[in-house]
Chains A and B, each alone.
Chain A
């Protein structure tokens, strides 16, 4: 079994409390950084580790940190993104609930590197009880001197605040999150300026995902080089994957980047294979990434084994690849209907569009409505091309990536499962039964089986 970096001690008794956490080596990274390292030395280790943002985009964390503007006399902020609303993703909740101190520790160490005296963790409103757990951990850390003035006599002051949202997927987008943290509607900002220059309260700000910040702990403890030994190429370290859908063993797994997709989905250490008759399709990185047929998840277009890395998952580009995204993995068995799932995705984005820019505000609703009628056996052949055209007109033309995220699932579903969409027009009566494929799985037409 591979070594765990974030979850090594997750099953130890009392790990949720400061005492149990400390007994298992907790807060060593703070001691090491504040006592023996300069902020730049911490940044250097993060750069060496090759750590990439775990929130979805996979942007190199060291590089992001080095972009932070440092004007004299202006405060800087670290904001941790615990909005976790990407469908399929529940890893951050699991981590914060089970081992909250690793996030607190990561925030102190990271803030030291960034020179931030205050940091915020923005927790989605539905996770109110998780926010309470974090508040408890922060209070413990404060009482023990890990937070406050002159931490460990180093002269570094730091405090952390927990902020709750109130139900809006878009607040996971970093500038919408900052708006929400300022007490406003979660409308993404128009960039530039980027948060690194003008973020929270117009001050330079780094926004990172929960898992990214937690990963700073082992990186500082063991050194960036040690971290980079795990993984392949530019996908270093471990990654939390939250697995759901029609698999035998749903849950959150810490994997070494670089294991094969086959191992992940079929071995008993992870998903444990299909729950049902056979796998049909996979969404490996949260609802915003392209859906791929099961076979294309296992093998790249050139026939090689696909690996759980940023690069391998996207091999084949948009037409034949997908993305690592946030690690919100879910698999479909053959009782599932792709059109229904695509409609469900579209309805989600329709519901979550902030409504600021016209292509997303209007286009997401249009997709939802056309897909709804297709799924209910009331569509027409032309609807499929219409859907293609609508998604194309949203993608790339919006203020924030939610527009793209709404377009991709539709595009990929049509690309890979067009025959299933056609079936919904040719078999209108059949698909009016909401469980249409549960009784009899959809069979690929000859045209598609060979394509």
Chain B
């Protein structure tokens, strides 16, 4: 069993464990050590080939292994890098790494709308947590942000592409959980988008899980009864004997009084659902009597939702002089590039 040391804390892990998984094991062993766990916006344990895209989980490998102690020249994605015996990793202990990660977070935010106060995901958004913990919100970006119109993909799911961070999780859900992927990533570069291309519904027994895996408010539940802030609802664990053999029937009901506002999968302390649920459980069972309620859900995550603040921490712009005159640029932009 290789031994890896992250921010000075060691653990022995099975062969093939990634740095991120090892860090989570340390965090599970002792909550006080949770700071060694890098943030992960695209990796999802139960989705094969996920991870590697967002780059928020980068860490510095200061010692490659006992066999080859050379440090790795660049930060590596901890979610896609396997540990080696004797490896030493810096997550919060290296200022250059923290700087690099803040840079990644800034990049993720430059085109992200600053509409948290009206976003349905506010309070349970991983990007909101991330920006709260890692840096300054997109204060230096003065150009027009990329926008898309929200679209309905079927009766149950809404896509706000403007908020998407292209983590590819929903694509992997569609590929690995459903029997027919009809959406994907089209175009490339910074105009890449999640899309069905032609107007089309995503109809499938398990498509609702895309909502749960989406780290931001890009995919949301259209059946969520009221535009209610999540922190005004009461989450309870519940289950039912689901007819669908692939569905665990273990869910969280978000209640207001006795009314079921929405149904989701159960998320663990890393924000990942423990087991996927079918669309019948998620969208159709909105009567509390359809469920056996187990008791209140403990929100374990260190997150905005558990801390009760939901506004982005925003710093003053760093640039002093007035913004340039951009209409002229916009016009030029229109001329080229088509």
Residue numbers of A with Cβ under 8 A of B are 168, 185, 190, 350-359, 361-366, 369, 372-373, 376, 378-382, 386, 392-394, 396-399
Contact = CB atoms under 8 A, between A and B. Distances in A.
B319 A386 contact: yes
B321 A382 contact: yes
A168 to B, nearest CB: 7
Interface string B185-204: 10111111000000000000
Interface of B: 51-56, 58, 73-75, 77, 80, 100, 103-104, 106-108, 110-111, 140-141, 143, 165-166, 185, 187-192, 318-321, 324-326, 328-329, 332-333
Given A358-B104, A376-B329, A379-B324, A353 B319 contact: no
A382 B190 contact: no
Contacts of A394: 107
B29 to A, nearest CB: 28
Residue of B104, B141, B190 contacting most chain A CB atoms (<10 Å): B190
Nearest to B318: A382
A168 B187 CA distance: 12
Contacts of B77: 190, 399
Contacts of B143: 366, 369
Contacts of A397: 55, 58, 74-75, 100, 103-104
Given A355-B192, A359-B55, A380 B324 contact: yes
A396 B143 CA distance: 25
A339 B141 CA distance: 20
A393 B106 contact: yes
B110 A357 contact: no
A366 B110 CA distance: 9
Contact of A376 (B104, B189, B191, B332): B332
Contacts of B189: 350-355, 361, 364-365
B53 A356 contact: yes
6 contacts: A353-B190, A355-B166, A358-B165, A380-B321, A393-B107, A396-B75
A18 B56 CA distance: 54
A204 B115 CA distance: 48
B192 A361 contact: yes
A351 B51 CA distance: 24
Nearest to B187: A355
A365 B166 CA distance: 16
B326 A392 contact: no
Contact of A359 (B107, B166, B187): B107
Nearest to A372: B329
B88 to A, nearest CB: 19
Contacts of A373: 324, 326, 329
